[in-house]
C-alpha cells in the first residue's frame, strides 16, 4: 500500500434522537476491487479479507462507538460472545480528513468501517452548489487510496427535526441534490470502494409542537446513488409507560423506505434498548422484529449519552448475554 505504518499511526460523536432483498450482492453503482486486490492499510496482510472486500454476512451485527475502537470492540465481543462485523463512527464533514487509521482499526478487527459524515459547519445548499468541492474531492481521493471498502453515510436522520440538514432548515430536494453531488465527486475521483448508506430516522409524525418528522421516502436520493439503507431507532417505553416493540418503532418508516428503495440491503443502522428490568425482553423484541421484517443487519449504539440513556451493554452483563444469544441465532 502507498501508506506506511508510520503514516497510519501518525494519523465526534453527537447523540442522536432517536426489509427485504435477495442474497447480498454488491452494488453496480459502487463496484469494489477484485478479490485479492484490497489490503488493509499498514498491514502485512488483511485481518479479514471479507471485511476488506465488503462481503460481510447477509445478517450482520455491529456496534457504533465514540472512540477507542481497539478497546471497545473486543470488549463488546467478549461481553456478548458474538463477533462485530461493522464498526460505526461519526465524523464532521467537512472539517476532518478521512481517518484511515480509524478505518484500519475496524478492518484489523475483522469489521467493515461505517462512517457517518455529519455536515455541521456547512449547509446542504453549500455542498450542492459546489462550495465544498475541493474538500470533498480530497476526502474521496483519501478513501480511494485506502483501497479497503468503507461504508459512508451523509447527513443521517435527515427526516427528523433535530439537525440543520433536515426540516425546516433544509428541504428534501436540497438534501438530495447535495447527496448526489457528493456521490458524483467520489465517482469521478474513482473511489469505487465506497458503499453508500442512506440512513433516515424511524420518527414519522409530530412528537410535540415544532418537532415534526417527515416520511423517509421524501429524502431518498435514488437507487443509483444508494447501496444500503439504514434506519435509526431505539426501544424504550411510550408516554403511558408501556414497552415499545419493534413494529411500533420501525414499521411506519420501513414501509416508506420500501416504497422507494428497491432491492436494497436494509438494516438498522443505530439502535439500543433502554437499561432497566425490561431490557432483556426488549432485546428479544428487537431481534424478533429484525427477523419478521427480514432486515439484514443491526448496529448497537455502544455509547453512554450524557443526561440520556447509557445504551452500553458492557456494564449490563445479563442484557449482554441475552443480546449475544439473540445475535448468534440471527446471524447463523
Q: What is the CATH number of the domain that holds 50?
A: 3.20.20.80
Beta bridge partners of residue 301, listed in sequence order: 64
Q: Check whether the bond before 139 is cis (ω within 30° of 0).
A: no
Express each pLDDT in 149-158 by its tens digit: 999 999 999 9
| Residue 231 pLDDT > 90 | yes
Q: What is the dihedral of CA 5, 6, 7, 8, to 10 degrees?
A: 50
| Residue 5 pLDDT > 50 | no
86-92 vs 112-118, strand pairing mode = parallel
Express each pLDDT in 175-229 by its tens digit: 999 999 999 999 999 999 999 999 999 998 887 888 889 999 999 999 999 999 9
Across residues 282-288, what is the average pLDDT? 97
Domain hosting residue 297, numbered range: 5-331
On average, the pLDDT of the chain sits at: 85
- 202 φψ region: left (φ > 0), alpha (ψ -120 to 50), beta (else): alpha
| Residue 31 pLDDT > 80 | no
Q: How many domains does the chain have?
A: 1
Express each pLDDT in 49-96 by its tens digit: 456 766 676 899 999 998 899 999 999 999 999 999 999 999 999 888
Amino acid at each position: 500500500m502507498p501508506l506506511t505504518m508510520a503514516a497510519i499511526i501518525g494519523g465526534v460523536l453527537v447523540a442522536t434522537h432517536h426489509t427485504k432483498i435477495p442474497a447480498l450482492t454488491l452494488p453496480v453503482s459502487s463496484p469494489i476491487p477484485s478479490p485479492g486486490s484490497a489490503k488493509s492499510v499498514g498491514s502485512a496482510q488483511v485481518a479479514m479479507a471479507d471485511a476488506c472486500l465488503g462481503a460481510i454476512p447477509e445478517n450482520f451485527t455491529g456496534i457504533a462507538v465514540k472512540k477507542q475502537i481497539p478497546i471497545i470492540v473486543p470488549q463488546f465481543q467478549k461481553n456478548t460472545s458474538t463477533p462485530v462485523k461493522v464498526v460505526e463512527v461519526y465524523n464532521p464533514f467537512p472539517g476532518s480528513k478521512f481517518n484511515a487509521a480509524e478505518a484500519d482499526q475496524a478492518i484489523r478487527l475483522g469489521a467493515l468501517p461505517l462512517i457517518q459524515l455529519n455536515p455541521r459547519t456547512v449547509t446542504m445548499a453549500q455542498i450542492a452548489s459546489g462550495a465544498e468541492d475541493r474538500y470533498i474531492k480530497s476526502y474521496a481521493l483519501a478513501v480511494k487510496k485506502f483501497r479497503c471498502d468503507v461504508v459512508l453515510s451523509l447527513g443521517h436522520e435527515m427526516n427528523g427535526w433535530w439537525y440543520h440538514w433536515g426540516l425546516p432548515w433544509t428541504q428534501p430536494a436540497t438534501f438530495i441534490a447535495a447527496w448526489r453531488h457528493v456521490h458524483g465527486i467520489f465517482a469521478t475521483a474513482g473511489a469505487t470502494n465506497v458503499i453508500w448508506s442512506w440512513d433516515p430516522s424511524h420518527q414519522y409524525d409530530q412528537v410535540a409542537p415544532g418537532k415534526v418528522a417527515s416520511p423517509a421516502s421524501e429524502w431518498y436520493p435514488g437507487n443509483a446513488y444508494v447501496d444500503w439503507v439504514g434506519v435509526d431507532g431505539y426501544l424504550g417505553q411510550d408516554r403511558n409507560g408501556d414497552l415499545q416493540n419493534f413494529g411500533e418503532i420501525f414499521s411506519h418508516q420501513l414501509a416508506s423506505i420500501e416504497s422507494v428503495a428497491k432491492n436494497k440491503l436494509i438494516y438498522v443502522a443505530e439502535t439500543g434498548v433502554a437499561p432497566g428490568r425490561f431490557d432483556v425482553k426488549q432485546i428479544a423484541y428487537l431481534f424478533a422484529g429484525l427477523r419478521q421484517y427480514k432486515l439484514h443487519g443491526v448496529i448497537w449504539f455502544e455509547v453512554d449519552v450524557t443526561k440520556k440513556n447509557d445504551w452500553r451493554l458492557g456494564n449490563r452483563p445479563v442484557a449482554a448475554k441475552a443480546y449475544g444469544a439473540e445475535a448468534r441465532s440471527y446471524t447463523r
